[in-house]
Amino acid sequence: MKLRQTLLAGAIAFAPVTAFAADLTIGFSQIGSESGWRAAETTVTKQEAKDRGITLKFADAQQKQENQIKAIRSFVAQGVDAILLAPVVATGWDEVLEEAQDADIPVVLLDRTVDAPDDLYLTAVTSDLVHEGSVAGQWLVDEMDGADCRIVELQGTTGSSPAIDRKTGFEQAIAGHDNLQIVRSQTGDFTRSKGKVVMESFLKAEGGENICALYAHNDDMAVGAIQAIKDAGLNPGDDIKIVAIDAVPDAHLAIANGDMNATIELTPNMAGPALDALEAFLADGTTPPKWIQTESKLFTAADDNQAIYEQKKDLGY
């Protein structure tokens, strides 16, 4: 089995590489569609490929690594020109990445990295989670401008890397600003419903009037919290400032409605930079850096959130 694949891969490796963007075929192994953001990433990736005239072979792994490994093997067997991989877990990729390398097919990691020697993949396109947190923190620092502010924090799923990094980044940004103080921090599991429940308890435990700002590790929790704040008879966005991360359409809508103040974008467009790098590499061998960091863009009431909402809402969020 393995032998046959190796032979097959070897045979393909001898085929001349004709790197014209117009007839590129790229395989994309996506994790699944477990969140709106993921769905948007799929939509945007397909769109990016179409715009560039690239044939995209899409494989949905339904949260299973074995499906992703199968998909990559089948891409290799089909002799695609490159592979995009959004890995579901960090470990266990060495063997299949080696198979791709033996077949001279470059692999670009999207959104997450893997625990494998970095010569097994071309580059990884991810956001910087710590940076996202610090953009949020910096926004609050600027917004408060020295005024005292008691902050409550809705953390992501305890122990997950986005929760840890987004917390770290935020804390780094507010460090040294003694007027800003996180008074309560509890996990909302990245869900709207837990966001609402936990915010309810914050409002009671601290007293709504004593909370000046909410930092949520994602927009979903912020959207849930907004409802809890309204139920408490307070005015979200005004009485309590709200900053969160992801910039999903509902967050733009909330900002447009004045219920929320700021969100930092985790762009679903990982494919854009990835395809840029691939095209350059396949055309003339330009080696991209091992890590391409996507932009963490801040959106506030200053932007036309209504328009952005309309634009984003059909991406699949």
Partner 1 sequence: MIGPKHSTFKRILPQLLILAAALAINLVVFPDFFDIDFRNGRLFGNLIDVLNRAAPVAILCVGMTLVIATRGIDLSVGAVMAIAGATSAAVVVEGHGWVTALLAGLGAGALCGLWNGILVAVLKIQPIVATLVLMVAGRGVAQLITEGKILTFSNEGLIHLGAGVVAGVPTPILIWMALGALVIFVVRRTALGMLIEAIGINERSSRLAGINSRVLLVCVYLVSGLCAALAGVIVAADIKGADANNAGLWLELDAILAVVIGGNSLLGGRFSILASLIGALIIQSVNSVILLSGMPPEFNLVIKALLILAILVIQSPRISYLMYMLRASGPQPQPDTAPLPKTQKEEAQ
State the residues that interact with partner 1 by CB under 8 A.
32-36, 38-39, 62, 155, 158-159, 184-187, 189-194, 196-198, 200-201, 204-205, 220, 223-224, 227, 230-233, 250, 316-317
Shortest distance, CB of residue 230 to partner 1, whole angstroms? 8
Q: Which residue has the tokens 């959130």?
A: 305
Shortest distance, CB of residue 223 to partner 1, whole angstroms? 8
Shortest distance, CB of residue 252 to partner 1, whole angstroms? 13
Shortest distance, CB of residue 189 to partner 1, whole angstroms? 7
Q: Which residue has the tokens 């910087």?
A: 128
Q: How far apart are CA 267 and CA 60, in angstroms?
A: 20
Q: Residue type for 283, please?
A: A
Phi and psi of 261, rounded to 5°?
-110, -40
Q: Which residues contact 186 (CB under 8 A, 6 or more apart)?
A: 153, 154, 155, 198, 201, 202
Say whether 183 sits in a helix, a strand or coil. strand
Shortest distance, CB of residue 133 to partner 1, whole angstroms? 16
Of 36 and 133, nearer to partner 1 (C-beta) is 36
Of 213 and 275, nearer to partner 1 (C-beta) is 213
Of 226 and 262, nearer to partner 1 (C-beta) is 226
Torsion of CA 226, 232, 238, 242, to 10 degrees: -30
200 and 168 in contact (C-beta within 8 Å)?
no
Shortest distance, CB of residue 185 to partner 1, whole angstroms? 7
DSSP β-ladder status, 25-30 and 82-85: parallel
Of 224 and 237, nearer to partner 1 (C-beta) is 224
CA of residue 256 relative to chain centroid, distance: 23
Of 231 and 295, nearer to partner 1 (C-beta) is 231
Shortest distance, CB of residue 301 to partner 1, whole angstroms? 21
Of 159 and 176, nearer to partner 1 (C-beta) is 159
Shortest distance, CB of residue 77 to partner 1, whole angstroms? 28
How far from 82 is each of 22, 102, 120, 210, CA to CA, in Å? 14, 13, 13, 54
Of 100 and 228, nearer to partner 1 (C-beta) is 228
Of 48 and 220, nearer to partner 1 (C-beta) is 220
- Structure tokens that stand for 161 in this block: 């890397």
Residues in the chain: 317
How far from 81 is each of 121, 202, 235, 244, 275, CA to CA, in Å? 14, 52, 53, 38, 12
Helix ranges restricted to H, 14-93: 36-51, 65-78
CA of residue 290 relative to chain centroid, distance: 18
